[in-house]
Amino acid sequence: MSGPYVIRGSVVLPEAELVWRFSRSSGPGGQHVNTSDSQVELRFDLLKTEALPPVWKERALERLAGRLVDGVLSVRASDHRSQWRNRETAAVRLTALLAEATAPPPKPRRKSRIPRGINERRLREKKQRGDTKRGRSGRDWG
């Protein structure tokens, strides 16, 4: 995944605006795990970036408001024991988050009318079913 991080279309996250931080991962591991900085934190300043179109930036700031700290979006990855794979995972997560947050809103749903014939048939079938059930009672058998 190293290289240009494409959000959508021709919009790319600039490498210069990404801030990487590495620390030791918690949890189980094998040899060498306690000495290597394999956890990755990737930070992207959404508030100050010029890489996103203004409309996208506005949308992302609104939708990711709960995840931002002073306009900075941060993603952590410590799934793998390898720092390189964690870097790729963090970058993929960040681009996916931004792609989802900058997506245009869905088209509003248009109400559809149920055709009259279908509604009439449904009511007719309900009536027949009720008559069938009413015919099962033993009242008239006496």
Quote the mean pLDDT of the chain. 85
Which residue has better confidence, 121 or 8? 121
Give 68's pLDDT tier (boundaries 50, 70, 90). confident
DSSP code of residue 69: B
Angle between helices 83-102 and 54-63 (to 10 degrees): 100
Q: What is the pLDDT of residue 30?
A: 62
Of residues 1 and 90, which shows the higher confidence score?
Answer: 90
User: Rounded CA gap, 75 and 87, in Å?
Assistant: 10
pLDDT band at 18 (very low <50, low <70, confident <90, very high): confident
- 95: nearest Cα among 112, 75, 79, 111: 75
Give the rounded percent of residues in the chain with a pLDDT score beyond 70.
87
pLDDT at 127 > cutoff 90: yes
Which residue in the block uniquely carries the two structure tokens 């600039």?
Answer: 14
Indicate the pTM of the whole model. 0.68
pLDDT in tens, 33-46: 556 678 889 999 88
Q: Set out the domains of the chain in order of their start, with CATH numbers.
A: 5-102 (3.30.160.20)
